[in-house]
Amino acid sequence: MAAHEVGMLKRTDAPTSDDPSRSPTSQPARTGSTSRGLIPGSTTAKALYQVWSGTPVTVVKSPPGAGKTALVVDVVRQLLTRAALTVYVVAPNNNQVAALAARLADALPADSVLVLAKKIKPEEVPAAVFAGDSERARHLAAAHVTVCTIARAMVQPPQCDVMVVDESYQSTHQQVRSAMAKADQVLLVGDPGQIGPVVTVRTDLYTGPTAPHLRAPDVFDRHPDAVVLTLPHTYRFGADTAQALAPLYDFGFGSARPPRSIIGLPELASIRVDGVEEGNTDEDLLQAVVRRAVGLVGRVADVDGELLPVTDGDVAVVASHNAQVALLRGMLAEQGHPDLLVGTADKLQGGQWEAVVAVDPLAGGVQGSHATSLGRLCVMASRHKSHLMWVHDGRWDRAVGVDASLSAADRLRAREVRQRLTEPSPAAHLPGHGDRDPAAAESNWSTR
């Protein structure tokens, strides 16, 4: 292939969101625009209608890559410019607050976004106003939005008309309840398939559907006046992945992603590595991961007809254990790819890359709630845009069956998703210890 026929893929190692309120071929709104219209019948329009109608609780459920942040930005823009309501937007951590503030500042008129976060540097979001900048704060627009972490809002609950909780499935019921103590309405937006909030206290002391440690939307959607909406499409991955992840969601969704692929590779593929030793650091397992990740670099992506080279920055390796991450980074560095991103599902949650190699958390006979978590499974299988390689050892069915932390329904979901990720896995596997053929290994994998 001639060099001039290939462009450069945009780096995707930072979390991004797609916009569900416009078609993939539409142009983005201009910076600072307040006149962008709503699509009648869209989830954004429905959410805005519920807030304008005074609905006390509105929950928006989203699949991965459906444009949650875009919905938040659109709704907030309308509330500020057309209703002049007092709006607070909260998120679980400072990184999410910085990303939200940047998106809002790009979409709203100057001096419309106030950030309350000491750990975020003003240069990270130059278009926003920070509470410590008294000079700029004096020029805040009459209608402005305040962005902060949910922890800060809990300490000093703000008096506001509407509190918008982004990534709400990563917050507990108690956190949101405390933060919105003085808010008239709440809009919760999030992906129910994500890894839930970290809870460090004993949860066996609390029972019932409103327990404080439960995920916030799972409690708030039981409110007698709550309205629950869903985003209908993902713009990140294709139909095969949407079908594979469907058992993890209680609502249907499809793929509206434009045509996209790594030339010569399917959207979903898997490798089974036999003879993996107990534990999560088996050398054969990790070598299989490294070979597949390195083999992706230099391939060509077809992005809606445009041919683009796949670089280190377009590939990510997702593991579930810190020990795996450390070893994989060292192994990739030895292969000349120190910049190829490796991280745990928890760290890479929210990101997206052209191609992903993921290690099944259950490989090596690992057991326990961390390994069998449906949220971790969902995150690891949904970071890719064109191609996912799922690496496993074929023993996941037994591991799922013996884990007491899973309900019968969750066992069924875990099995169904892995079946879809690995079929037809029985016919494709890598040899075990002492029986490795690296050349054959590269071609011995199942596809869908």
The pLDDT assigned to 203 comes to 66
> What b/e sequence results for 74-102 when a residue is b if at least 16 CB atoms lie within 10 Å of its CB, and e otherwise?
bbbbbbbbeeebbbbbbbbebbbbbbbbb
- pLDDT tens across 124-181, in order? 898 889 887 778 887 787 789 999 999 999 999 999 999 999 999 999 999 999 999 9
The angle subtended at Cα 259 by Cα 229 and Cα 61, nearest 5°, is 15
**Domains of the chain (ranges, CATH numbers):** 43-200+209-231 (3.40.50.300), 239-422 (3.40.50.300)
User: In this structure, what token pair is assigned to residue 49?
Assistant: 């209608």
Spatial separation of the C-alpha atoms in residues 303 and 297, rounded to whole Å: 16
The pLDDT assigned to 352 comes to 97
- pLDDT tens across 360-382, in order? 999 998 888 889 999 999 999 99
Burial of 193 (0-12, 13-18, 19+ CB in 10 A): buried
Q: pLDDT below 70 — which residues of the chain?
A: 1-37, 201-206, 424-448
- pLDDT tens across 252-282, in order? 999 999 999 999 999 999 999 999 999 989 9
Amino acid identity of residue 180, one-letter, is M
- pTM of the full structure: 0.85
